[in-house]
Amino acid sequence: MSTMAAQIDPTLLQKSHDYCRELTRKQAGNFYYGLKLLPEPKRSAMYALYAYMRLVDDIADAPDGRAANQRIADLDAWRAQTHAVVEGDPDALRRHILWPGFADLVRRYRIPNAVIDDMIAGQRQDLEPVEFATFADLYQYCYRVASVVGLASICVFGYRRGDEAGRAEGKVIEDLAVARGIAFQLTNILRDLKEDAARADAGRCYLPLDELERFGVSGDDIAAGEAGEGFDALMAFQIQRAESYYAQSAALEEHIDADSRPTLRAMTEIYHGILGRIAAHPRLVLQKRVSLSLWAKLAIGWRAVRGR
C-alpha cells in the first residue's frame, strides 16, 4: 500500500468508497454493470475513478446556469485541488468525500498525473465551440474524454508496464487501451447523435465537418431527424471506422490480469452491442438513444464471467 493510502483514516476511506459506489450505481449505466465483476480492491478503485469523472463532467456540463468562463475557472480550481490531493495535502483530502477514495486509487495503482490532467482538458474542450474540421481533430477529443480513462483503467486492471529499459511491451498495451477508448467514444457519438445536435443551449455535432460535407449532411439535418441516402452513407462510414478501432484493440483483454478480464469483456460487449444495433438500423439514432436491455446486459455479464 502506498504511503498516502496508509495515512488515510480507514473510516473516512470506507465512507469515500461507499459514496463512490453509490454514485456509480445511480449514474454509470453501462459502466456499473461491468465494474461489478471486478474483485476488491479493484472494484472500489474503479468506482472512485468513475466518481471523479462524473464530478468533473458535472462541473463542465451540469444545467445549473453557470457561464462558460465560470465553468472554466471551476475546472482550473478542480485541477489544482486534484494535484493537492495527489501530492498528499491532508487538508485537501477533507474537502470532499470523493478525495480519500481517489487518493487511494491514484497512489495504489500509480495513475500518471498526465492522464488525470488530460481528463480535465477533455471536459474543458467541451466548453468551447464543438466543431471538428477533420477526424484528426475528433481523435484528439476522443483521446481526452475516453482513451485516458482506458489508460487509467488498465492501471487498475493490471498489466505489464515494464521498466525504463523495457517499456516496449507496456507501450503496446497502452496503445491497445487508447484504441479501445476511441472505439467506445465513437460509439457514444453515434448513439447520441440527435440528442447532441438538438441541444437547446447549443447544438453540437461531433462528426468531422469535412465528412458531413462529403456526404451532404448538416447538423441541422440531424437535429431535425432528417435521413436520406447521404445520411445512410455517412453512418455506414462512421460505423466502419468505429468497428476498425474495436478490431485494432481486440488483443487488449489477453494482456491484463485475469481477474479483470470479465469486466473489460463485459464493458466492451455492451458498447460493441450498441454499435451493432446502430449498424442494423442506422436511422434509429435519429429517433432515440440506442441501448441494450437490462436482460441483455445481464447475459453479457454472465458470458463474461464464464469467459465466453
Kindly report whether the peptide bond that precedes residue 10 is cis, defined as omega within 30 degrees of 0: no
Question: Which residues make up the CATH 1.10.600.10 domain(s) of the chain?
Answer: 9-112, 129-308
Taking a C-beta distance cutoff of 8 angstroms, is the pair 276, 296 a contact?
no
Looking at domain 129-308, its CATH superfamily turns out to be: Farnesyl Diphosphate Synthase (1.10.600.10)
d(CA 45, CA 51): 10
SS3 270: helix
Residues of the chain falling short of pLDDT 70: 1-6, 30, 129, 162-167, 199-203, 293-308
d(CA 181, CA 249): 9
DSSP codes of every residue in 63-97: SS---HHHHHHHHHHHHHHHHHHHTT-HHHHTSST
- How big is the CA angle at 103 (ends 101 and 104), to the nearest 5 degrees? 65
Tell me: the pLDDT tens digits for 88-118? 899 999 999 999 999 999 999 999 999 999 9
pLDDT score at 301: 62
Taking a C-beta distance cutoff of 8 angstroms, is the pair 105, 48 a contact?
yes
Check the CA dihedral 183-185-188-189 and report its sign: negative
Taking a C-beta distance cutoff of 8 angstroms, is the pair 50, 23 a contact?
yes
Q: What is the pTM of this model?
A: 0.90
pLDDT score at 134: 97
d(CA 15, CA 266): 28
Go through 137-174 and write b for each residue having 16 or more CB atoms within 10 A of its CB, e for each that does not: ebbebbbbbbbbbbbbbbbbbebeeeeeeeeeebeebb
Q: Please report, for residues 9, 68, 226, the alpha-carbon distance to residue 217 in angstroms, rounded to integers and kept in the order given.
A: 56, 29, 9
SS3 292: coil
Using only the alpha carbons of the chain, give its radius of gyration: 20
d(CA 113, CA 68): 25
| In CATH, 9-112 is 1.10.600.10 | yes
pLDDT score at 166: 57
Residue with cell 498528499: 88
